Structure 1
Amino acid sequence: MSKRLITPEDLLQLRSVTSPALSNDGEHVVYVETTLHEEKDTYAAELVMTSPHNPDQNQYLTHGGYINKLPRWSPVGEALAFISNRTGTNQLYTLSSWGEPKQLTEEKKGVNDFRWSPDGKTIAYSSTQYPEEEKENDKPEPLVVNKMKYKSDASGFWQGEYVHIFTVEIESGKHTQLTDGAISYTLLDWTADSEQLVISSVNEENTDFIFSNDLLLLSVEKKEFIQLTNQTHVISDASASPDGRYLAVRAHERDYENATHFEIYLLEIATNEWTKLTGDWDVQLGPVVAADFLQNTVDPGLVWSGDSRSMTFLVSEQGTVGLYKLTTDGKKEAILTGHAHVYGFSILADGSSLVAGINHVAHPGDLYLIQSGEERKRLTTSNDDVLDELEVVQAEEIRFQQEEGHELQGWLMKPAGFNEKETYPLIVEIHGGPHAMYANSYMHEFQTLTARGFAVLFINPRGSLGYGQEFVNAVRGDYGGGDYRDIMAALDYVLKQYSWIDESRLGVTGGSYGGFMTNWIVGHTNRFKAAVTQRSISNWTSFYGVSDIGYYFTEWQIQADLNDTDKLWKHSPLAYVNQIETPLLILHGEKDYRCPIEQAEQLYIALKRREKTTTFIRFPEANHELSRSGKPSLRLKRLDAIGKWFEQYL
């Protein structure tokens, strides 16, 4: 049977299978299955339970088309807790005996995250709180701004809200607020005795120039803090050992600002003695893949073994995300590696069973059971019926030595229906960040382009994570320099190696930093016959003041501020607008606070004023996450616009 070509609309048929949670006895796995709802133009995420021993018997634990996420088993018994928006806001629920879920919270602004206590009697959760009641009227209110960090691409304008920590007792339903005041807290874990919470915070009211956070222990009974750090680290995760002796902490000391690799530290609670366990390991600890398909993924963080001798976690390196174990004396062991993207896992305390979510370029992802001495066992087949109908394109890995002395890694995808006797146009894709990583991971955008007859080249230029600290830091202060040369070197390499690529029909596209680089490329070469820039940066001088991260990101990355506008302008693609001859499609979300739409407006007007070939598409209500989690209808229109632009000019 001949297979059909992938279309943008196939996003509506494919299912994202994520967030596996393995029960304590290893008999059940609960996971999140996310789909796009065309009629409601939204997403639905249901909890599904399967058995590692009989994966054909799936049971949907939730229904109704809401977002149900973060399934977590009680450490004691068979109760399951999760977050759902079925009442309109994210609230905490428990489920036992697979009956109806029981709602535990009624927070006005919902629940952000939660953790079971080790004794299974209590759940700690975090919730956004406002210092005073909001005014409920239809009249617009002015926003009074007194801080620099006053807006966020994720949450909009700051209006006095802070995140606080609560507990709820499972049996009595009693709620207790543990923190208050004009400080936000992040919930990380419980200590082994169920008496203290591990949290992080910035113990300052004015955080405009503070980018580290502190690690704290919070007594649940007394509501008293023990401060373990003093603004020395950026802390992304901490988990307590089952024996109560240690905290495993993933953190860094901002040696290279936001380009700094995380390390794993062992903190002895009794003495507050810190030991760095990963000082000789030059990799990125945690998942950092640039992708557009998976929904409701969760980084499990540092997961302790039951004997408190080791921890398991995800590692990004060399275009893959794998699973590693690290002992308390610093010995590393690869558990699950290979040419794939491990995007989540759940492991039994004794390490005998592991369930992992794995995908690769030609497969959106499924859950697999891994047991000692046994072959990997596939537990889900959520997309098999759709994939059986589609021509899904694999990718060929490329590696080559750049003339400047470092190795580059990338992937080349041939067009669907490839015929070696024909020649084909090529599109170069550039990821955002710039501190992210393309991986052997499914990208629906890439598949839709190959279905239209384009080859796709995607690489990790300097600045990308996964290739060592020196490599990721090399882009800072040099945007449009070595990173640009890396991308062009990759293009030259594939043109030399693959004669079927038509050098006269080249396209380029990317979003965020990838949009910046697209703008930069068309201002510095006419090799490309078409380009699509997405949620891009065109002018660092204005970006400094309008982005939610503008003033500090610009200082960290361009290494200049408004006292050095010459350097800001030198690295701004808008400065080279007179040299742009490539037909350029500009895509941008109107609610993008990360790279505000004025960046696109400036570029568009400058091009039109010079009578250059360009079109500007504005996506209403869309923020910086349009391509990944925007409204389904807009995501489809975006993919269609990209494909049609390249078809028109290539």
Structure 2
Amino acid sequence: MTDTKRGITAEDLYQICYPSEPQLSPDGTKAVFVETKMDELRQYQSHIYLYSLEDNSKTALTSGPFRDSFPRWSPDGSKLCFVSNRSGKAQLWHLDVNETEFKQITNGPNGISSPVWSPDGRSIAFAAFLRTGQTLTEGTEELTEEATPKSITVDKMKYKSDDSGFVYEKNKQVAVVNIETGSVTQLTEGTYDHAVGSWSPDGKWLAITANRSVNPDIQHEIDIYLVPVEGGEWKKITNSDGTYAMPTFSKDGKKLAFIGSVADQHLYATMKKIWVAELDAGTVQCLTADWDVHVGDATIGDVRSPGHPNPGAVWTTDGQGMYVIASEKGSSGIYLVHLDGSVTKVVGGERNVYGFTFDNEKNSLVMAVSDSLTPGDLFHVDLNTETEKRLTDVNGELFQEIRLSTPEEIWYEGAEGWNIQGWILKPVGFQEGNTYPAILQIHGGPHSMYGHTFFHEFQLLAAQGYVVVYTNPRGSYGYGERFVQACCGDYGGNDYKDLMHAVDYVCQFDYVDETRLGVAGGSYGGFMTNWIIGQGNRFKAAVTDRSICNWISFYGVSDIGYYFSAEEIQANPFENPEKMWHHSPLRLVANMETPLLIMHGERDYRCPIEQAEQLYMTLRHRGKAPVSFIRFPGANHEMSRSGDPEQRVLRLQYTVDWFNQYV
């Protein structure tokens, strides 16, 4: 029988969709979720769907050319709130489940985020950016050319953000809106950023997080606070000794769980733990101090935007434990953390759980899951019977005509004898006896994790006839805290050797043509790509995305540069510039002879485009090997995952064309 399936294309990205943010109704019979896809105009749409667990039906609750997200059930299950840009800025909307009319609840000038219902269902807490003197009832800002300021005074170091743009005059505040009257009460103020956590069961307190230190530019601690909704004195739960987030009350209101880590020299390269505060006793305890696993989903993919709402620690009804997502060895699953510190794996497997919602009464959950061949779908798990049922197949029709390559897991010996995990994708249509070129892919972070999740770019390269190799060198999450911190101060050292050992390992296979190798990566992966081609000419071609080439200038231009450099390079320009220069690929330009494609977003504030400009200009001025520079106007650091759809497809096409030309 003839196989009529084809390999995946760059343009297939326009048709891939994924579900996220599942939320079970209070009675456990229904779930709402968000489905994101691109429309015929190649623009994103996110719509809210209702899934009945009783008759397995799926109904669209919202539609149109809008981005709807963050659906949340009212406590009695009769209503939903959600965030939508259907009136312009992202505002809070209200929907009666039995009706079809929407009601806009907020009209904040800069939009709102993160709604949380009060226990009595009368109010909703949310967060919103506000300029000094702005209120949440004055209507949205119109950003016209006439309204653009002629000058901007910058008086703080954290004045821009790759996520939120320029925030030099804005801070995130927490407020509560009455859904019947629309009246808004702002609970926080000042030049601090605040985030919503959860309501106490009696509705009197709101748990929030904030950095309210004397100098937030330098002091990065984030604390947990209890704020009285009716006014009064705040209660500070943590002691400004770490970064804590997502506080959730136990069912009896006597405990507060949250996720975080104690601050030391590592702000990024520290495993997130589960903490519990006994509110009456005033004590705080780390439950997972001895569990060397990162709490949270650290898995990198390229079809879902990062930053999905994390459910945090979800309490059991009896208050004796919490369900959380955690990441280890290329997988993320659901774990039950008991109050005695013991941990039980609830949902495992070689896959990426990126969201879930729990039904305490039925002891069941609905989760959002991706694996190596599935961008994302929803599954129902009955923990009583340990049975699992797939609820959606959102890409089934598309993938019926596409042949994908199934990754093969590898473990190999890296630098210093360390065991390193990775994967090999063979070319689509692979035939024994043939040889194929290979591409080494390097993830960003560096504190993230490749794993058992769908990666469109990798499948595209496999469809083009390449062997794709991707690994988790030291610095990656998933293998313990010593492993994740091992690259700090040693960028281009043993992490580089881990990657080169991966190349050595795969080149033993007779189907890999070791004379035709390529290398690619973004962010830290872009840094490492630059570093690799500065070491020699092993690779025929390289593609570097949103990369870093000069740590000295990065310090002053990145939105995180001045403190990221201190942790990751363990140097700064005024005390030890020699070390910063030592780790800078720009220093190695004289050795670079590999054809290099440089791609960068012009609105990237994480790794600003001046990094690409320096590398390109220096290579061209020295008359080195072929180099090309592609700029993406308006694109930020997340362009390859959540950027303009047409720019994402162009980037993939440029990548394939470069490797096809030179490898």
TM-score, length-scaled by structure 1: 0.97
Distance 1:545 1:539 in 2: 11
Classify 1:606/1:243 alpha carbon distance in 2 versus 1 (closer, same or farther; 3 Å): same
Distance 2:58 2:582 in 1: 57
Distance 2:609 2:80 in 1: 42
Question: RMSD between aligned alpha carbons?
Answer: 1.5
Q: CA deviation at 1:172?
A: 3.4
Q: CA deviation at 1:159?
A: 3.1
Q: Does 1:527 align with 2:535?
A: no
1:27 alignment counterpart: 29
Q: Does 1:261 align with 2:271?
A: yes
Classify 1:297/1:208 alpha carbon distance in 2 versus 1 (closer, same or farther; 3 Å): closer
Distance 1:163 1:318 in 2: 35
Question: Out of 12, 16, 19, which is 2:18 matched to?
Answer: 16
Distance 2:240 2:502 in 1: 41
1:569 alignment counterpart: 581
Distance 2:337 2:147 in 1: 55
1:419 alignment counterpart: 431
Q: CA deviation at 1:107?
A: 0.8
2:406 alignment counterpart: 394
Q: Does 1:297 align with 2:308?
A: yes
Question: Out of 472, 475, 478, which is 1:460 matched to?
Answer: 472
Distance 2:51 2:239 in 1: 45
Classify 1:604/1:403 alpha carbon distance in 2 versus 1 (closer, same or farther; 3 Å): closer
Residues 363-378 of structure 1 aligned to structure 2 (within 5 Å): 363-371=374-382, 372-378=384-390
Distance 1:328 1:628 in 2: 37
Q: Report the AA paired with residue 635 of structure 2.
A: A
Q: Report the AA paired with residue 499 of structure 1.
A: D
Distance 1:329 1:120 in 2: 33
Question: Out of 232, 238, 254, which is 1:245 matched to?
Answer: 254
Q: CA deviation at 1:432?
A: 0.4
Q: Report the AA paired with residue 565 of structure 1.
A: P
1:379 alignment counterpart: 391
Residues 192-207 of structure 1 aligned to structure 2 (within 5 Å): 192-204=201-213, 206-207=215-216
Distance 2:634 2:424 in 1: 34
Distance 2:169 2:401 in 1: 51
| 1:327-352, Cα deviation, whole Å (9 max, x unpaired) | 22222111100100011111102352
| 1:92-127, Cα deviation, whole Å (9 max, x unpaired) | 112121421221111111112111112222211111
Residues 495-534 of structure 1 aligned to structure 2 (within 5 Å): 495-496=507-508, 498-534=509-545
Distance 2:77 2:70 in 1: 18
Q: CA deviation at 1:73?
A: 1.1
Q: Does 1:629 align with 2:642?
A: yes
Distance 1:523 1:485 in 2: 14
The answer to whether the Cα contact below 8 Å between 2:34 and 2:69 also exists between their aligned partners in 1 is: yes
Distance 2:9 2:442 in 1: 21
Classify 1:526/1:60 alpha carbon distance in 2 versus 1 (closer, same or farther; 3 Å): same
Q: CA deviation at 1:231?
A: 1.3
Residues 39-54 of structure 1 aligned to structure 2 (within 5 Å): 39=41, 41-54=42-55
Residue 566 of structure 1: SS of its match in structure 2?
helix
Q: Does 1:127 align with 2:139?
A: no
Q: Does 1:620 align with 2:629?
A: no
1:90 alignment counterpart: 90
Residues 427-576 of structure 1 aligned to structure 2 (within 5 Å): 427-496=439-508, 498-562=509-573, 563-576=575-588
Q: CA deviation at 1:397?
A: 0.4
| 1:6-26, Cα deviation, whole Å (9 max, x unpaired) | 111111111111111111112
The answer to whether the Cα contact below 8 Å between 2:415 and 2:497 also exists between their aligned partners in 1 is: no
Q: CA deviation at 1:279?
A: 1.2
Residues 199-218 of structure 1 aligned to structure 2 (within 5 Å): 199-204=208-213, 206-218=215-227
Distance 2:596 2:166 in 1: 32
Kindly tell me the number of residue pairs found equivalent between the two proteins. 647
* 5+ long unaligned stretches in structure 2: 135-140
Q: Report the AA paired with residue 587 of structure 1.
A: M
Distance 2:431 2:148 in 1: 63
Q: Does 1:228 align with 2:230?
A: no
Q: Report the AA paired with residue 620 of structure 2.
A: K
Question: Which stretch of the first structure deviates more once superposed, 220-229 or 27-36?
Answer: 220-229
1:582 alignment counterpart: 594
- Sequence identity of aligned pairs in percent? 45
Q: Does 1:7 align with 2:9?
A: yes
Classify 1:424/1:44 alpha carbon distance in 2 versus 1 (closer, same or farther; 3 Å): same
Q: Report the AA paired with residue 89 of structure 2.
A: T
Question: Which stretch of the first structure deviates more once superposed, 329-338 or 296-305?
Answer: 296-305
Question: Which stretch of the first structure deviates more once superposed, 169-178 or 633-642?
Answer: 169-178
Q: Report the AA paired with residue 75 of structure 2.
A: P
2:621 alignment counterpart: 609
Classify 1:378/1:611 alpha carbon distance in 2 versus 1 (closer, same or farther; 3 Å): same
Distance 1:616 1:401 in 2: 35
Residue 568 of structure 1: SS of its match in structure 2?
helix
| 1:368-414, Cα deviation, whole Å (9 max, x unpaired) | 11112153111001110000010111100001233512210001000
Q: CA deviation at 1:541?
A: 0.8
Distance 1:112 1:322 in 2: 26
Question: Out of 309, 314, 322, which is 1:311 matched to?
Answer: 322
Q: Does 1:348 align with 2:359?
A: yes
2:138 alignment counterpart: none
Q: CA deviation at 1:507?
A: 0.4
The answer to whether the Cα contact below 8 Å between 1:61 and 1:98 also exists between their aligned partners in 2 is: no
2:654 alignment counterpart: 641
Q: CA deviation at 1:205?
A: 5.7
Distance 1:192 1:532 in 2: 52
Distance 2:562 2:61 in 1: 46
The answer to whether the Cα contact below 8 Å between 1:48 and 1:58 also exists between their aligned partners in 2 is: yes
Q: CA deviation at 1:547?
A: 0.8
Residue 620 of structure 2: SS of its match in structure 1?
helix
Residue 207 of structure 2: SS of its match in structure 1?
strand
Question: Out of 195, 210, 228, which is 1:219 matched to?
Answer: 228
Q: Report the AA paired with residue 322 of structure 1.
A: G
Residue 297 of structure 1: SS of its match in structure 2?
coil
Q: CA deviation at 1:139?
A: 5.8
Residue 288 of structure 1: SS of its match in structure 2?
coil
Question: Out of 344, 354, 373, which is 1:333 matched to?
Answer: 344
Distance 1:205 1:628 in 2: 36
Distance 1:488 1:482 in 2: 10
Question: Which stretch of the first structure deviates more once superposed, 203-212 or 215-224?
Answer: 203-212
TM-score, length-scaled by structure 2: 0.95
| 1:230-267, Cα deviation, whole Å (9 max, x unpaired) | 31120122111011110012111123332111111110
The answer to whether the Cα contact below 8 Å between 2:238 and 2:284 also exists between their aligned partners in 1 is: no
Distance 1:590 1:101 in 2: 37
Poorly superposed stretches of 4+, deviation over 3 Å: 132-136
Q: Report the AA paired with residue 286 of structure 2.
A: K
Q: Report the AA paired with residue 269 of structure 1.
A: L
Q: Report the AA paired with residue 568 of structure 2.
A: Q
Q: Does 1:72 align with 2:83?
A: no
